[in-house]
């Protein structure tokens, strides 16, 4: 009897791991795998929102290459990466060094710096729109001291710079936590030895801290690059649904949303744009990792 029970349990054992993994597999399949496959299929059709599409081969991708709006979005997304990533690699590290010190009241500042991370991006965006509006807080202060009002939300480049500032401000606390975990693993003896050798704070930072957290800096660079390249909420909220001046502030993800939604949305063309965004994002991550490997050698 016991032998039959054991043999039956052994026959059923291979099914047990799949039962435990089933909920996760279902969620992954429904919300990640199926949308990706559907987007890939639609990219080769001329499907619209309410109209089934027909197979058009590579026509959508050829149109992407000749679409001036696509190149504008690619330029803006690339500029966003260049403007945001260096700040999100360096500033959170300096902030982590600051809040790492065990001094009275430091817990309050750690919580304050992390608050923007947990705040809703919609709320954050609306607050910053109010602050930077022509009659908002910043322009009121500028007018009061005689400088005059600045069109932060009316000029293409100022709007992008304002959105970059919001992205950096909201991401500081998140990457600060990552750096705090990395700094906790840096041996204190290294700093003490460098101090004995006469190294000042700046030199200790460059020769001890930076090499010790270099792998974390690469991780932050990769994560922030992908997030910056796929930026949507900040620019969308500050520019509005219709976009900023002449649509020159459009990013790639905004272009996908604007093209593929609505009753007459071009779902097929938007899917092709999504595939291009996916390929460029993967290439960007591989570039960051390749640069890191080259520096290791």
237 pLDDT higher than 90 = no
pLDDT score recorded for residue 189 = 86
- The answer, yes or no, to whether residue 240 has pLDDT greater than 80, is no
- Between 20 and 10, residue with greater pLDDT: 20
> What tens digit of pLDDT does each residue of 133-151 get?
888 888 888 888 888 888 8
Note the pLDDT of residue 178: 93
Segment 174-188, tens digit of pLDDT = 999 999 999 988 888
Domains of the chain: 67-260 (1.10.3720.10)
Question: What pLDDT sits at residue 11?
Answer: 56
Q: What is the pLDDT of residues 75-131, one digit of tens each?
A: 999 999 999 999 999 999 999 998 887 777 788 888 888 888 988 888 888 889 888
Q: Among the listed ranges 12-16, 108-112, 274-278, which one has the minimum average pLDDT value?
A: 12-16
Q: What pLDDT does residue 157 have?
A: 87
The pLDDT mean for the chain works out to 86
- The Cα 113–Cα 106 span in angstroms is 11
Residue 159 has pLDDT above 70, yes or no: yes
Share of the chain above pLDDT 90, in %: 39
């Amino acid at each position: 009897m016991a032998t039959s029970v054991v043999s039956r349990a052994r026959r059923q054992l291979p099914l047990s791991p799949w039962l435990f993994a089933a909920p996760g597999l279902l969620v992954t399949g429904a919300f990640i795998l199926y949308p990706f496959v559907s987007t890939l299929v639609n990219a080769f059709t001329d499907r619209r929102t309410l109209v089934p599409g027909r197979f058009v081969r590579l026509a959508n991708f050829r149109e992407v290459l000749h679409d001036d709006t696509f190149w504008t979005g690619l330029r803006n997304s690339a500029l966003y990466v260049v403007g945001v990533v260096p700040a999100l690699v360096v500033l959170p590290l300096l902030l982590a060094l600051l809040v790492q010190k065990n001094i009275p009241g430091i817990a309050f500042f750690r919580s304050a710096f992390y608050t923007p991370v947990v705040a809703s991006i919609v709320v954050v965006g609306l607050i910053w729109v109010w602050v930077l509006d022509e009659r908002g807080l910043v322009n009121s202060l500028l007018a009061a001291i005689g400088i005059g009002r600045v069109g932060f939300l009316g000029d293409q480049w100022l709007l992008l710079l304002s959105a970059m500032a919001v992205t950096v401000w909201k991401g500081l606390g998140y990457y600060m936590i990552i750096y705090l975990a990395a700094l906790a693993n840096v041996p204190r003896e290294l700093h003490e030895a460098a101090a004995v050798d006469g190294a000042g704070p700046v030199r200790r930072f460059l020769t001890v801290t930076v090499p010790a957290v270099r792998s974390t800096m690469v991780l932050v660079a990769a994560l922030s690059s992908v997030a910056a390249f796929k930026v949507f909420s900040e620019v969308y909220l500050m520019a509005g649904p219709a976009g900023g001046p002449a649509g020159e502030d459009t990013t790639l993800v905004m272009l996908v949303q604007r093209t593929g939604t609505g009753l007459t949305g071009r779902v097929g063309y938007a899917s092709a744009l999504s595939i291009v965004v996916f390929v460029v994002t993967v290439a960007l991550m591989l570039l960051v990792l390749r640069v890191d490997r080259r520096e290791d050698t």
